Every structure is written in C-alpha cells, then in structure tokens.
C-alpha cells in the first residue's frame, strides 16, 4: 500500500506539521506517566482507525516495557482488570475527547471530574493537548491512507 500523498513534500504543509511534531515531542516532558500517554494515544488511534499510529504507539509502548496483555486489552479497557483507576480516567477522557461529534455536549462533566481526581491541572492540560495532537495525526494519516507496519521505535523522536 502506498500513501495517497506525501504531505511533507508541500512546503506549507511540512512547515505546519513540524509544529505539530514539536508539540508532540514537548509532551514527553509531561508528568503524566509515559505508559498512560502511550495508552491514550493508542486508544484514540484505535477509535480513529489510524493504522500508522496504532503501529507506532504499540511499538513505543512495548519498548517502554508495556505488556502485550495490557496493549491487547486497551480496545476493551472498561472490561479489563489490568488498568489502574487513573489510567481508566485518562482512557475515558481520550475516548470522549476523540468522539466529540458523537456527544451532543462534548466531554461530560463527570468524565472531566473523574480525570481531575487523578491528575493535577498541569497533567490535565497535558492530556488535553495529547488527545488533540494524536487526533490531528490520526486524521491526517487516515485521510492520506498512510501505510502501517514499518515503524521503528524512536523513528520520529528528535
């Protein structure tokens, strides 16, 4: 499979994407645990059907020590017993933030309140930006049909 388009070949699109990549890289400084960040990005990517991001975040999570059991259960995290309450709150926030169009009022107050039990304001801000950035990457990759399977751990880290 080949991508429909190489957006990096466009000077304007490449310039814009570099800022999104920089935003993603800045999130590595967050105090939200790295495992939680990878789980959130994986779940949003699953919802959006972004094979490239699923490939990337699964491999990055494995490299960071995440177990195959937890990665396989992200898609059904509500029924799984392997996630902490804090991780569940982050996954719910990721789902609601990714599925905004499905909910008339956006992210429900109870979802936000539950996340606020486990994450301070800086961490909540980091999660909001993380969810926004992964959704931007997902949408670009899905629109251009970016292929998956060839990602190497650390490939896009600068």
pLDDT tens digits for range 81-137: 999 999 999 999 999 999 988 876 789 999 999 999 999 999 999 999 999 999 999
> Domain of 66?
33-144
Residue 59 belongs to some domain of the structure? yes
Residue 4 belongs to some domain of the structure? no
pLDDT tens digits for range 135-145: 999 999 999 99
Residue 9 belongs to some domain of the structure? no
Residue 152 belongs to some domain of the structure? no
Residue 154 belongs to some domain of the structure? no
Residue 38 belongs to some domain of the structure? yes
DSSP class per residue in 112-137: HHHHHHHS-HHHHHHHHHHHHHHHHH
Cα–Cα distance, 28 to 11 (Å, whole number): 27
Please classify residue 99 by burial: count the beta carbons closer than 10 Å to its beta carbon, then call 0-12 exposed, 13-18 middle and 19+ buried: middle
* CATH number of 57's domain: 1.20.1290.10
Domain tally, the chain = 1
Residue 17 belongs to some domain of the structure? no
Residue 13 belongs to some domain of the structure? no
pTM: 0.92
């Amino acid at each position: 499979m080949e991508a429909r388009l190489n957006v990096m070949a466009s000077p304007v699109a490449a310039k814009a994407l570099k800022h999104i990549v920089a935003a993603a890289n800045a999130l590595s400084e967050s105090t939200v645990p790295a495992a939680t960040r990878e789980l959130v990005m994986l779940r949003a990517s699953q919802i959006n059907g972004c094979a490239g991001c699923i490939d990337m975040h699964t491999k990055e999570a494995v490299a960071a020590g995440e177990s195959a059991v937890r990665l396989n259960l992200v898609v059904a995290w509500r029924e799984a017993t392997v996630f902490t309450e804090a991780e569940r709150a982050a996954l719910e926030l990721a789902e609601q933030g990714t599925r905004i169009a499905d909910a008339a009022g956006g992210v429900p107050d109870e979802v936000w309140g539950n996340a606020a039990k486990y994450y301070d304001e800086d961490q909540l801000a980091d999660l909001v930006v993380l969810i926004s950035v992964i959704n931007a990457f997902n949408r670009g990759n899905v629109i251009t049909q970016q292929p998956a399977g060839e990602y190497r751990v650390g490939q896009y880290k600068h």
